[in-house]
Structure 1
Amino acid sequence: MKITDVLAEKAYDRIKEHGSPTPSLWKNYTTSNYLKDIYKLLQSEKYYSEGVKNLCFACDLAPVGNFNLSLLKQCIQSARVFLYQDMLKSNGLEFDEDTIFDSSQKAFYSLKSDFILTKEQKDLFDLFSQKRRLVVSAPTSFGKSRVMREIITHNQYKQIVVIVPTNALLSETYFTFRMDERLSRYNLIFSTHIEPSDDNSIYIFTPEKFDVYTDEYDINFDFFVFDEVYKVDSKDSRSSVFSNCLYKAYKKQCDYYLIGPYFNKFSESFIKKTNGYFKRYDTDIVQKIMTNYLYDSEAKVSGVSLKKLKGKDTRLKQIIKNIPGQTIVYVGRKDTAETRARKIADLTDKEVNNSELNDLIKYIEKNISKEWRLINCLLRGVAFHHSGIPKYIQTEIVELFNSGVINTIVCTPTLTEGVNTTAKNVVFYDTTKADIDLTGFEVKNIVGRSGRFGQHFVGRAIFLEEHVDQNNIDEINYPIFDYEKIPDEDYIQIDTEDLGVEGRNHKERILRQVDELNIPLSLLKKNKYIPFENQLELIQHFRSNKDLKSRLQIKSGLPEKQQVDVIIKLVHEVLFSSSDRKEAWTTANLSRLVKYQIYFNPSIKDLILEHDAVREDTRIRNVLELVYKYFEFLFPKYLNAFENIFNFVYSDTLSLALMSTHLQYGNDEKYNILLTDAGVPRSIISHLSKYLEGHDTISSIRNVIESNPSILTGLTNIELKMLSKRI
């Protein structure tokens, strides 16, 4: 055993013997002893993570403790997490001037940029430079995305694909890349309506958008980035599209950087077939303290006692009132997010006076509803956040939270899956997701959102319910290579030589079945992720109802009202998967609102007025889900499959493209589509529309605005901010 490991092991035993880092409770063990032992841990690769863990606790205590700052600085330099020192300086601690050695060490980790990498970030950067095809598991606060930008900056890749799991992360990534001058040599392509460029380009897409785009265009990408790669094995409705995106990268044989948190291994089949390399990092540069504050029990959080209470709501109120720091409250459902945010807002009558917050409230009142309970919450420094909220409002909420104007956000998984916040605390009001228990991995991933590197040394996670133990996913399997059975519709997309023996046999059975039914494989390949049996049912329905051919002859670009009723009925009741059908939406209701959308291009406010739910908040929640889930995503996918099947059965040329475009964007003007995909709100697009006719690129739209700034007259401050951020 190395001498550094021997010394580190003894140091580890001493720290363990004296318990949690609370100097006031120590006997015969001083803060100097503690720092010296931390230093010894940091000299050992085996104990490095333990060293960083205890260094976090020491730094957290330093502003109020009696710490030897010279020793503390030596520990920070040894850990090579240099930002810790800057964080302490901002808290009023003064260190000796850096020596020449200190400065040269920082320069070594700066990679010719203003950003200084941590030791393990630099190790990861160097490892990628050697391996080029890398799967990385590292904690949420590690900075994996930061390393990705360094990799892009320091290499000469020409066509880069970056896959992120949500539209919220797409917007955040696009904005981050736009602001990074080192990436200015690349075109940023974020919309499926922007044609590929032969010049240097970065394509930033969700899996669904990437899949659609690469079906239409053959991009010769040479570097592929996949954030939250564990979702290929997530066993939900999106896992197929995640898997297929990775399959496309596999077929390109390009360099890749696949990243995610908390998994121990990645598919050996995928690694072997791609000549890749897997690396796991366990060091968390922001530590987490977990506390259970359960039914009828007391708790203590960072020295603050929380009294014994029974109800979750009363315990939540105790936390909000008594535990300092910005807080994310995790809940499992959208309606719960809204009701609990209101309860927290009711804890105070004091309103927040902030111009940016007031601008957001006025925007919501004008464009959504004056009655939305989000307004009352915002006035008191509270917000709720879920997938039904417009992305541009989500962004404003997170920015107000990160700037300290909003103190509490009650959220569903949409905020805890990748979006960066300044939350010190995460409170688990629920330990479920849509009424299904969170896994140990999901709990750990959400806990990882407590504490932000650069602002906190320690984050807090507080549980109001019993929960499973946190754990890593043992192994991320790649379904296409590792599972004997995948959905029937997925087999059709995979080349036979890439399937195992059982997979090949199953695909052969499918091919025989469709051949017996006289259905071409090419048709089913077009209709990706549409349940195989549902497609067969619609084909049979068309074959049995020949009159539908004449009934659905569209004379102009959009179908007539009666035709919409027929189309929506078949799409919703036959093609929709069971998971996509929701009790809140009947076929008749959907058809009525689809017609309103495609014929009149209503605002969200108009759609809310048209909805027949009794409560205003229910109307708003349902309409936002309708717009951002059904109109933007589900209906276009299913309408495309409907069109393909109709044209096959009847040898026709039915086109529902205009209907899909009107559902997604309100109209088919190119500038409108591009600005909507960029995340620009409809109110701003409407204001600019008369100046942008005929402009079909983001650069030409930007030129019009820059050369004619007077056209922005009439936009509010928040609208100007939203626009400048996105184009």
Structure 2
Amino acid sequence: MRRQELEAVLAADGSDLTGIFRKASALGRYILEHGAAEGWLNQHIIALHAAVLDFPALESLLPVTQGLLREVGLFPYLESAELDWQDAIARESFRPSGELASGYLFHREQAHAFDVLALGQNLVLSAPTSFGKSFLVDNLIDVRRPRTVVLVVPTLALLDEQRRRLDKAFGRAYRIIHRNDQLLSEDMGNILVLTQERLRDRTDLPKIDLLIIDEFYKLNADIQDARSRCLNIVFSRYAPRAKQIFLLGPNLDYDVDLGRIFAKRIDSDATTVATIIHDFSHESFKRKRLAALLAERSMEKSLVFCKSPASARKLAESLIQEGIGYDLPYCRQLGAWLAEHYHPDWVVASALKIGIGMHHGAMPRSVSQQILRAFEESDLNILICTSTLIEGVNTKAENVFIFDDKIRSKRFDYFSYRNISGRAGRFRKYMIGNVFLFNEPPDPEAYQLDIPSLADPADLSDDFLIGVDGFAHDDSFRDRRARLETDLDLPAELIEQLATFPIASIRAVADKVKERLRAGDQRVLWSDRAGYEELAATLAMGWRPFAKDSSLVSAGQAAFFAFRMLGTGGRIRDYLNRIVQSSKPEGVQREIDRALRAIREVDFYVPSVLSALQLLVNHFAMRVELPQVDYLTMAETIESHFLPRHVKGLEEIGIPIPLGMKVHGYLGGDHDLDEAITTLRSLRERDYIDGGLTQFEYRMIAASV
């Protein structure tokens, strides 16, 4: 039987006893002739098994679907009480060892990957979203107990998710480190969960027992952003000194030589959930249809993908107008709290009050985390999101509605489409995932992956030539680097510190710095603290080249929002009121989004640009006998929002800044984050209530620490 013949049988109508048996028989015949290694078979077998479980009249077919599940190695779906002794023994052979593994079973492909890791071998695993890769990480740490583990994640949102999971699993045996103001423990093991930028800035890791890079496809040179360059830099730096390397990411086809890291490669298309596609791409009234579908599935977890924060906002407003609403106590309380402490007209607060959550890049990170936790638990069922959630967090749902077919203004490719649709269904929770399409999906295409840190040095572009040097290179590589140093008129050490920026940007900013210093511009010759004029003039030397992805179009705009933050002392409501006070009613939501996005971008870009500029200014100032500058103090102050440093740290783990300022009174002084968390954990609910916080605010804190 050919695959086309099997798919024709599976596509035919027939969900009764005879129809299901016919499909199961065809699957059995195909497996007998071709084997069970083809991952696409899993989806059809899971769907048949789900149908049998859902309808008592099909109970007699349970041994048939169980036999098929065993053939493809999906042992977690086999209930031991329903198995004969042979199947029961086979099932138990896939039970992992380790203290964390109680009640858990590997599926066959997962067990194969773990066997490689358990032997201490390096592994590059490319597998679907529902594969169970996070458990592989946890079980590997549990079984092998490496002394120093470094887990690199692409975003702060994913960092918090991984931090919480690892702290729950290993918090008593390991120190869980996620910020660079946290020092390594000498008394216990260390698990560092860091973004590539934070790992780049650490200098205390001469040895690593286990290096893990999550979403390794972000090493791809074609992404062409600072994060990709930074990830390649840290991978090149730390891979040679790591005892074991584990790269994990989505299922994709790529041609990369892994010889430099001596890694075994496993590419698996073995899915552990079945996906049903519902096509509404030709629907005329898409918002109304979406509203109706959400109402029909109001008791199920649903993600709604939109292309941008503006699109998400408009959709939320539309659903509110359509009368979609669910009285969910936690959402109602969170919406009221956000309206009070952020803005009463903020659509995020209004949507929550009727049981609809939002998650996008223009929102404060802590608010997104509170909403995400509500969705992951039982407090929220509908979450409107953008690519910041799809690419940055391992959230799954029973239903995924792909409302837009773009990411920002560009139509997404097949790889992004699979990444979004792959959020439907969840291993061991939602056996069937539903994907609702409101536009035609992109055509299938291969994903081209080029990892500069593993490439032949002769093929490296100038942008990757500096920084990606952890592996041995030949004389031609060193000659190219030397020519680049001469061309830029900068020493190698300084260029390496700036290696996350394109060479053209470094050259442009270096020329601008020399120009300002030759002119004797006193506005850029400051230390510790700066006023608006000094900050704007300094940022102007490097803003567009070094912050080209920021929505803040000028250095003056960045400085403006930085000092607006300074003037509010953590009172976000005052900050927003001042921004929107002159806006017309129809523009209030847009201005709120813009102002909140500005906080995140000032926080991320301004410290980075100031740090880079300090290196260049001090280098060239020394040549012309001008005084050295210190921008780092101001950079750190801006990064902490001009607030006590633990308030910003608490915001990262999910405590919104207005609430962080409230609990600041319990803490006193300027503590590090670990001290703050320890103190907050030690307080009882009554302590918070007596101190003036509400029961709901206590719940927000308890969920975060």
TM range (shorter): 0.7 to 0.9
The answer to whether 1:712 aligns with 2:684 is no
Give how far 1:16 is off: 3.7
Name the SS for the 1:196 alignment partner. Answer: coil
1:195 alignment partner AA: L
Give how far 1:266 is off: 5.0
Q: Give the alignment partner of residue 383 of structure 1, picking from 343, 350, 357.
A: 357
Q: Give the alignment partner of residue 18 of structure 1, picking from 9, 17, 21.
A: 9
Give how far 1:151 is off: 0.8
**Matching of residues 157-306 of structure 1 within 5 Å:** 157-180=146-169, 182=170, 184-198=172-186, 199-213=188-202, 216-233=203-220, 234-237=222-225, 238-265=227-254, 267-268=256-257, 271-295=258-282
State the distance in 1 between where 2:329 and 2:296 align: 27
Unaligned runs of at least 5 residues, structure 2? none
State the distance in 1 between where 2:81 and 2:647 align: 56
Name the SS for the 1:650 alignment partner. Answer: helix
Name the structure 2 match of 1:464: 438
Identity of counterpart residues, as a percentage?
18
State the distance in 2 between where 1:497 and 1:704 align: 44
Are the aligned partners of 2:376 and 2:395 in contact in 1 as well (CA < 8 Å)? Answer: yes
Per-residue Cα deviation, 1:660-715 (whole angstroms, up to 9, x for no partner): 12211134745345434434322232123234245745553344345554652333
Name the structure 1 match of 2:96: 111
Per-residue Cα deviation, 1:582-631 (whole angstroms, up to 9, x for no partner): 3x644433322222334653433222223255422112211221111x22
Q: Give the alignment partner of residue 683 of structure 1, picking from 651, 658, 667.
A: 658
Q: Give the alignment partner of residue 70 of structure 1, picking from 60, 63, 67.
A: 63
CA 1:502 to 1:577, structure 2 compared with 1: closer, same or farther past 3 Å? farther
Give how far 1:143 is off: 0.7
Are the aligned partners of 1:348 and 1:380 in contact in 2 as well (CA < 8 Å)? Answer: no
1:262 alignment partner AA: N
The answer to whether 1:444 aligns with 2:444 is no
CA 1:621 to 1:138, structure 2 compared with 1: closer, same or farther past 3 Å? same
CA 1:500 to 1:22, structure 2 compared with 1: closer, same or farther past 3 Å? farther
Name the SS for the 1:222 alignment partner. Answer: strand
State the distance in 1 between where 2:143 and 2:664 align: 40
The answer to whether 1:723 aligns with 2:694 is no
User: Quick check: 129-138 or 486-495, which moved more?
Assistant: 486-495
State the distance in 1 between where 2:470 and 2:354 align: 59
State the distance in 2 between where 1:189 and 1:530 align: 27
Q: Give the alignment partner of residue 576 of structure 1, picking from 525, 546, 549.
A: 546
State TM-score, norm by structure 2.
Answer: 0.88
Name the structure 2 match of 1:338: 313
Name the structure 1 match of 2:573: 605
User: Quick check: 601-610 or 223-232, which moved more?
Assistant: 601-610
The answer to whether 1:60 aligns with 2:53 is no
Aligned length: 681
State the distance in 2 between where 1:521 and 1:531 align: 15
Name the structure 2 match of 1:304: none
Unaligned runs of at least 5 residues, structure 1? 1-8, 87-94, 296-308
1:18 alignment partner AA: V
Are the aligned partners of 2:572 and 2:658 in contact in 1 as well (CA < 8 Å)? Answer: no
State the distance in 1 between where 2:314 and 2:657 align: 28
Give how far 1:200 is off: 0.6
Per-residue Cα deviation, 1:99-131 (whole angstroms, up to 9, x for no partner): 555554444323242122222211211122236
Name the structure 2 match of 1:4: none
Name the SS for the 2:114 alignment partner. Answer: helix
The answer to whether 1:406 aligns with 2:380 is yes
CA 1:41 to 1:363, structure 2 compared with 1: closer, same or farther past 3 Å? farther
Give how far 1:175 is off: 0.8
Are the aligned partners of 1:137 and 1:262 in contact in 2 as well (CA < 8 Å)? Answer: yes
Give how far 1:156 is off: 2.6
1:111 alignment partner AA: P
Name the SS for the 1:277 alignment partner. Answer: strand
The answer to whether 1:596 aligns with 2:567 is no
Are the aligned partners of 2:36 and 2:72 in contact in 1 as well (CA < 8 Å)? Answer: no
**Matching of residues 122-133 of structure 1 within 5 Å:** 122-130=111-119, 132-133=121-122
User: Quick check: 443-452 or 658-667, which moved more?
Assistant: 658-667
Name the SS for the 1:563 alignment partner. Answer: helix
State the distance in 2 between where 1:16 and 1:353 align: 43
2:483 alignment partner AA: R
Name the SS for the 1:262 alignment partner. Answer: coil
Give how far 1:314 is off: 4.3
Are the aligned partners of 2:327 and 2:355 in contact in 1 as well (CA < 8 Å)? Answer: no
Name the SS for the 1:611 alignment partner. Answer: helix
Give how far 1:319 is off: 3.9
User: Quick check: 603-612 or 196-205, which moved more?
Assistant: 603-612
Name the SS for the 2:149 alignment partner. Answer: strand
State the distance in 2 between where 1:326 and 1:494 align: 43
1:278 alignment partner AA: R
CA 1:15 to 1:321, structure 2 compared with 1: closer, same or farther past 3 Å? same
1:282 alignment partner AA: D
Q: Give the alignment partner of residue 616 of structure 1, picking from 569, 579, 588.
A: 588
State the distance in 2 between where 1:110 and 1:496 align: 39
State the distance in 1 between where 2:542 and 2:566 align: 16
2:439 alignment partner AA: E
State the distance in 1 between where 2:123 and 2:135 align: 15
**Matching of residues 148-163 of structure 1 within 5 Å:** 148-163=137-152
CA RMSD of aligned residues (A): 3.1
User: Quick check: 366-375 or 98-107, which moved more?
Assistant: 98-107
Are the aligned partners of 1:42 and 1:52 in contact in 2 as well (CA < 8 Å)? Answer: no
Give how far 1:638 is off: 0.4
Name the SS for the 1:579 alignment partner. Answer: coil
Give how far 1:141 is off: 0.7
2:65 alignment partner AA: L
CA 1:520 to 1:173, structure 2 compared with 1: closer, same or farther past 3 Å? same
2:11 alignment partner AA: S
Name the SS for the 1:417 alignment partner. Answer: helix
